[in-house]
Amino acid sequence: MSVRTMFFGVVQAYLLCSIIDITAPTYALNSKSLSSTPSQRQATREILSALNRRHFVDLDVDDQLSERFLDNYIQRLDPNKSFFIQSDINEFSHFKHRLDDELKKGLNTTGFFIYDRLKQRMDERLTQVINSLERTPLSVDFTIDETLLIDSDEALWPQTIKDADDQWRKRIKAYFLNQKLSGENPDKSRKNLIKRYQNQLDRIQKNNAENIYEIYINSFTELYDPHTSYFSPRTSENFSINMSLSLEGIGAVLQTEDEYTKVVRLVTAGPADKQGELKPADRITGVGQGDDEIVNVVGWHLDEVVNLIRGPKDSIVQLQVLPSGSADSSAYKVVRIKRDKVKLEDQAAQKAVITLTNQNKPFKVGVIDIPAFYLDFEAFRKRDPNYRSTTKDVNRLLNELQLEGVDGIVVDLRDNGGGSLYEATSVTDLFIDKGPVVQIGKDGGQKSSNVSQNNAYYRGPLVILINRLSASASEIFAGAIQDYNRGLIVGSQSFGKGTVQTLTPLKSQGELKMTESKFYRVSGESTQHRGVIPDIAMPEIIDVSEVGESSYDTALPWSKTFPVRHGNYLSLDKFISTLSQLHKKRVNSNPDFIYINERKALINSTNSKKLVHLKEEKRLEEKADIEKKSLSIENKRRKAKGQTIFKTFEELTEYEKKKSEERSANAGTTTIDIKDDAILKEAGYILKDFVDLLLQPSGRVAKTP
Helix (H, G, I), strand (E, B) or coil at 693: helix
Distance (Å, whole) CA 256 – CA 50: 26
Long-range contacts of 306-312 (CB under 8 A, 24+ apart): 306/238, 306/242, 306/254, 307/238, 309/249, 309/250, 309/252, 309/254, 309/284, 310/242, 310/247, 310/248, 310/249, 310/339, 311/248, 311/249, 311/339, 312/248, 312/339
Closest to 219 (Cα-Cα) out of 49, 9, 67, 63: 67
Half-sphere exposure of 360 (CA within 13 A, CB side): 0
Contact by Cβ (8 Å): 511, 503: yes
Distance (Å, whole) CA 221 – CA 515: 10
Q: Is 173 a catalytic residue?
A: no
DSSP 427-461: HHTTTS-SEEEEEEE-TTS-EEEEEE-S--S--S-
Q: Show the beta-strand stretches assigned E in 467-599.
A: 488-491, 499-505, 511-520, 536-537
Strands 333-338 and 316-322: antiparallel
Helix (H) or strand (E) holding 478: helix 473-483
Helix (H) or strand (E) holding 88: helix 86-92
> What sign for the dihedral angle of Cα 554, 555, 557, 563?
positive
Helix (H, G, I), strand (E, B) or coil at 363: strand
Distance (Å, whole) CA 580 – CA 372: 28
DSSP 659-670: HHHHHHHTTT--
Distance (Å, whole) CA 253 – CA 290: 21
Q: Which of 36, 229, 232, 472 is catalytic?
A: 472
> What sign for the dihedral angle of Cα 369, 371, 373, 376?
negative
Distance (Å, whole) CA 226 – CA 556: 8
Q: Is 364 a catalytic residue?
A: no
Q: Which of 119, 497, 629, 681 is catalytic?
A: 497
Closest to 442 (Cα-Cα) out of 515, 385, 340, 341: 515
CA angle 517, 475, 456 (to 5 degrees): 110
Q: Which of 328, 415, 483, 535 is catalytic?
A: 483
Strands 536-537 and 488-491: parallel
Q: Is 329 a catalytic residue?
A: no
Distance (Å, whole) CA 174 – CA 172: 5
Provide the greatest CA pair distance for the chain.
85
Q: Show the beta-strand stretches assigned E in 583-642.
A: 611-613
Distance (Å, whole) CA 78 – CA 115: 11
Helices and strands (H, E) in the chain, number of each type: 21, 19
Cβ neighbours of residue 161 closer than 8 Å, sequence gap 6 or more:
20, 21, 22, 85
Q: What is the dihedral of CA 272, 274, 279, 284, to 10 degrees?
A: -20
Could you give the residue numbers annotated as active site? 472, 483, 497
